[in-house]
Chains A and B, each alone.
Chain A
Amino acid sequence: MSRTSPIAKVYLFLVFAFLYAPIFYLIFYSFNSGGTMSSFDGFTLEHYGAVFQDNRLMVIVINTVLVALLSALLSSAIGVLGAVGIIFIQRKKYRQTLLTMNNILIVSPDVIIGASLLILFTLIGIKLGFASVLIAHVAFSVPIVVLMVLPKLQEMNQSYIDAALDLGASKRDIFTKVILPYIQPGVFAGFFLALTYSLDDFAVTFFVTGNGFSTLSVEIYSMARAGITLTINALSGILFIVTFVLVLGYYALSNKMKSPIRAGVPK
Chain B
Amino acid sequence: MTKYIQAIVGILIVCVLLFFVRNELNASSNSKSADVLTIYNWGEYMDPELVDRFEEETGIRVIYETFDSNEAMMTKIEQGGTSYDLAMPSEYAIEKMKENNLLIPIDSSKLPNLQHIDPYFLDLPFDPGNEYSIPYFWGTVGVAFNPTLLEGQTFESWEDLWDPALKDEIILVDGAREVIGMGLNSLGYSLNSTNPAEIDEAREKLTTLSPNIKAILGDEIVETMRRGEASIALVWSGQAADIMWVNEDIDYVVPKEGSNLWFDNMVIPSTAANVEGAHKFINFMLDPEVAAQNADYVGYSTPNKDALPIMDPEVTEDTRFYPTEEMRERLEVYKNLGPEMLGKYNEAFLKFKIDAQ
Q: Which residues of B contact A38 (CB under 8 A)?
A: 223, 226-227, 246-247
Q: Smallest distance from the beta carbon of B162 to chain A beta carbons, Å?
A: 30
Check B246 against A227 for contact (C-beta < 8 Å). no
Across the interface, B219 reaches (CB within 8 A) one of A55, A224, A229, A267, namely: A224
A90 touches B (CB below 8 Å): no
Residues facing A in B2-23 (CB within 8 A) are 2-4, 7-8, 11-12, 14-15, 18-19, 21-22
Size of interface on A: residues with Cβ below 8 Å to B:
55
Q: Known A-B contacts: A122-B80, A176-B1, A267-B2. Give 9 more (CB < 8 A).
A: A55-B29, A62-B21, A69-B15, A184-B3, A191-B7, A212-B64, A219-B43, A225-B42, A226-B44
Check A212 against B14 for contact (C-beta < 8 Å). no
B310 touches A (CB below 8 Å): no
A59 touches B (CB below 8 Å): yes
A104 touches B (CB below 8 Å): no
Q: Which residues of B contact A225 (CB under 8 A)?
A: 42-45, 68-69, 219
Q: Which residues of A contact B245 (CB under 8 A)?
A: 35-36
Q: Smallest distance from the beta carbon of A256 to chain B beta carbons, Å?
A: 13
A95 touches B (CB below 8 Å): no
Across the interface, B66 reaches (CB within 8 A) one of A37, A219, A227, namely: A219
Task: Decide yes or no: A223 and B43 within 8 Å by CB, A55-B28, A66-B15, A211-B63 being known contacts.
Answer: yes
Q: Which residues of A contact B83 (CB under 8 A)?
A: 211
B200 touches A (CB below 8 Å): no
B38 touches A (CB below 8 Å): yes
Q: Which residues of B contact A223 (CB under 8 A)?
A: 43-44, 66, 68
Task: Decide yes or no: A222 and B81 within 8 Å by CB, A38-B223, A55-B29, A177-B1 being known contacts.
Answer: no
B121 touches A (CB below 8 Å): no
Across the interface, B81 reaches (CB within 8 A) one of A63, A66, A127, namely: A127
Q: Which residues of B contact A65 (CB under 8 A)?
A: 18
Top 9 A-B pairs ranked by shortest CB distance? A210-B82, A212-B63, A223-B43, A222-B43, A222-B66, A226-B44, A128-B81, A222-B68, A55-B29
Q: Which residues of A contact B25 (CB under 8 A)?
A: 55, 58-59, 62
Q: Smallest distance from the beta carbon of A108 to chain B beta carbons, Å?
A: 19
Cα(A54)–Cα(B75), bound, Å: 29
How extensive is the interface on chain B, given as a class? 35 or more
Q: Which residues of B contact A118 (CB under 8 A)?
A: 79, 81
Check A211 against B38 for contact (C-beta < 8 Å). yes
Q: Smallest distance from the beta carbon of B242 to chain A beta carbons, Å?
A: 6
Cα(A167)–Cα(B123), bound, Å: 86
7 residue pairs of the A-B complex, CB under 8 angstroms, read A55-B28, A56-B64, A62-B22, A66-B15, A69-B15, A122-B81, A207-B76
Q: How would you classify the secondary structure of chain A's contact residues: helix, strand, loop or mixed?
A: helix
Q: Which residues of A contact B22 (CB under 8 A)?
A: 59, 62-63, 66
Q: Which residues of B contact A266 (CB under 8 A)?
A: 1
Q: Which residues of B contact A140 (CB under 8 A)?
A: none
A214 touches B (CB below 8 Å): yes
B159 touches A (CB below 8 Å): no
Closest residue of chain A to B39, judged by CB? A212
Closest residue of chain B to A218, judged by CB? B66
Q: Smallest distance from the beta carbon of A175 to chain B beta carbons, Å?
A: 10
Q: Smallest distance from the beta carbon of B7 to chain A beta carbons, Å?
A: 8
A209 touches B (CB below 8 Å): yes
Cα(A73)–Cα(B65), bound, Å: 27
Cα(A210)–Cα(B222), bound, Å: 30
A180 touches B (CB below 8 Å): yes
Cα(A118)–Cα(B75), bound, Å: 10
Interface string of A37-81 (1 = CB under 8 A from B): 111000000000000001110110011011001100100000000
Closest residue of chain A to B3, judged by CB? A184
Cα(A177)–Cα(B3), bound, Å: 12
Check B68 against A214 for contact (C-beta < 8 Å). no
Check A226 against B45 for contact (C-beta < 8 Å). yes
A181 touches B (CB below 8 Å): yes
Check A66 against B18 for contact (C-beta < 8 Å). yes
Check A222 against B42 for contact (C-beta < 8 Å). yes
Q: Which residues of B contact A240 (CB under 8 A)?
A: none
Check B246 against A35 for contact (C-beta < 8 Å). yes
Residues facing A in B217-241 (CB within 8 A) are 219, 222-223, 226-227, 238
Q: Smallest distance from the beta carbon of A9 to chain B beta carbons, Å?
A: 33
Closest residue of chain A to B300, judged by CB? A226
Cα(A227)–Cα(B2), bound, Å: 48
B189 touches A (CB below 8 Å): no
Closest residue of chain B to A132, judged by CB? B81
Cα(A119)–Cα(B29), bound, Å: 32
A121 touches B (CB below 8 Å): yes
Cα(A127)–Cα(B79), bound, Å: 12
B26 touches A (CB below 8 Å): yes
B48 touches A (CB below 8 Å): yes
